[in-house]
Amino acid sequence: MSGHASYEFKNPVVRWIEERLPIFSTIRAQAVDFPTPRNLNYWWTFGGIAATMLVVQILTGIVLVMHYTPHVSMAFDSVEHIMRDVNYGWLLRWLHANGASFFFIAVYIHIFRGLYYGSYKAPREVLWMIGVLIFIAMMATAFMGYVLPWGQMSYWGAVVITNLFSAFPIIGETIVQWLWGGFSVGNPTLQRFFSLHYLLPFVLAALVFLHIWALHVVGNNNPDGIDVKSEEDTLPFHPYYTMKDLYAILVFFLVYLGFVFYSPWYLGHSINFAPANPLSTPAHIVPEWYFLPQYAMLRAIPDKLGGVLVMFSSLIILLFLPWLDTSKVRSNRYRPLGKIFFWLFVITCLTLGIAGSQPAEGAWLTVARIATAFYFAYFLVILPLLGKIERPKPMPASITEAVLSRH
C-alpha cells in the first residue's frame, strides 16, 4: 500500500515520522483519497461489515478467554460461570456466539455479490483467491469455536467432522489420531482446538490485510463491471464511502443485536445446553446453519471418501473460478443468461442448506444429490460454456455514462 500521491504535512512531528515511515501519506492515500467508483450499491457495504464482525469476534473472544477453562471436566461449567457470575458475561458470550453467525451472513452476501458482479475476473483474481482462503480459514475457526462450550452438539460435531479424515485410504486413521491427540475426541482435542481457535483469527486478520491490499492495487469492481476510465468515474473513499459503510454497519448491527438481546440461542441448538456425553448420541447431529450446504454435499455422496472429496472440492473449486468463467463481461447486469443461472445457483445453495438440516434419507437425499450436481455443473459446465454462447447486452462507455443514463 505505497502512497502514490505526495502530501505536505505541516506538523513537524508528523513530518519527522513521515520521512522515516510514510504512514501518514499512506493512510491519506488509501483510507481518505482512495478513488472509489461512484456507482457502488449497498451490496458493496458487506466487505466492511464482515471486517467489523471480525473485530467484534476478536475483542469479545479475548475477554471470554479470560474466564473460560479449556478442559473436558470444566469447559461447560466455565461457560455457565461466564453466563451467571461474570459481569456482563452473558452479553460477551451471546455477542460472540451470534457474532459468528452474523460474520457468516456478511461473508456469504459478500461472496454472492462478487459472483453476481464478476468481481473475481481479471485483474482481481488474486483478490478473489485470498477471499476464498479467508472463507476456508473462518470455517475452520468457527468449527473449532463451536466445540469449546463442550455441549452435546459441540462434542458430537467434533466426532463427526474429525472422523471424516478417516475416509482417506492408508493414512486416514493416522490423521484422525493425530487430530485427536489420542484415540478418541477428548481433552487433548479440546485443548488443541482452543489453541487454534485463538490463533486462526489472527491469521484471518492477516489474510484480510492482504485482501484489502490486493483491493487497493486493482481498485474496486462496480455494479456495471466496467473499468474506471477517468476521475469523474470515482469519488474519494472518505467521506462518501466511510459514511455510507458506517450507516450500513449500524443497520446490520440492529439485526445482529436484535438476536443477541431477544433470541440469543435461536441460531444454535437446544441440545448444546446439555453437557457433552460420549455415551449418549443425539438423535440428529447437525452442524451450525452456516455449514449446512457443505454438510448436505458431504452426505449426498453414498461413498464416505467421495463425500469428503466433494465437500472439500466445493470450496477449492472457488479458487479456479476466475478461469472457469469465460465471459469477458463482468457484471450480470449485462448478461441475460448469466443472470438466470446466477439465481438458479443461489436457489441451489439455499436448497442445499435446507437439505443439510434434514435427515439424509428419502426425498431430501435425492434433492441434495440433484443440488450437488448443479452446484458443480454451474462452475464446470455452465460458466465455461455461457461465455461462448451468450450475447451480452450493450455496455455503457463509462461508469459516469451508466450513472447518468439512469437518472
Residues interacting with another protein, by CB under 8 A?
38-40, 80, 83-84, 90-91, 94, 235, 239-240, 243-244, 246-247, 250-251, 253-254, 257-258, 260-266, 270-271, 273-274, 283, 354, 357-358, 403-404, 407
Give the residue with the Cβ less far from another protein, 130 or 368: 368
How is residue 230 written as a grid cell?
A: 477517468
CB of 33 to another protein, least distance (A): 15
Q: 65 near 199, Cβ under 8 Å? A: no
- Among 58, 231, 203, 46, which residue's Cα sits nearest to residue 134? 203
* DSSP-derived 3-state class of residue 3: coil
CB of 361 to another protein, least distance (A): 13
CB of 179 to another protein, least distance (A): 28
Give the residue with the Cβ less far from another protein, 50 or 260: 260
CA-only gyration radius of the chain, Å: 23
Give the residue with the Cβ less far from another protein, 236 or 306: 236
Give the residue with the Cβ less far from another protein, 199 or 255: 255
Q: Facing residues of 275 across strands? A: 151
Give the residue with the Cβ less far from another protein, 383 or 402: 402
CA dihedral 65→290→301→351, nearest 10 degrees, is 170
CB of 357 to another protein, least distance (A): 7
CB of 281 to another protein, least distance (A): 13
H/E stretch holding 52 reads: helix 46-65
How is residue 233 written as a grid cell?
A: 468515474
Give the residue with the Cβ less far from another protein, 310 or 399: 399
CB of 64 to another protein, least distance (A): 16
Instruction: State how far the Cα of 89 lies from the Cα of 96, in Å rounded to an integer.
Output: 11
The answer for residues whose C-beta is within 8 angstroms of residue 37's C-beta and 6 or more apart is 219, 220, 221, 222, 228, 233, 234, 235, 399
* DSSP per position, 146-169: HHTT-BHHHHHHHHHHHHGGGGST
Instruction: State how far the Cα of 28 lies from the Cα of 312, in Å rounded to an integer.
Output: 41
The answer for residues whose C-beta is within 8 angstroms of residue 246's C-beta and 6 or more apart is none
Q: 392: left (phi > 0), else alpha (psi -120 to 50), else beta? A: beta
CB of 186 to another protein, least distance (A): 18
CB of 295 to another protein, least distance (A): 15
Preceding amide of 123 cis, omega within 30: yes
CB of 326 to another protein, least distance (A): 31
Report which residue type is found at 238. Answer: H
CB of 358 to another protein, least distance (A): 6
Give the residue with the Cβ less far from another protein, 6 or 405: 405
What b/e sequence results for 192-222 when a residue is b if at least 16 CB atoms lie within 10 Å of its CB, and e otherwise?
ebbebbbebbebbeebbeebbebbbeebbbb
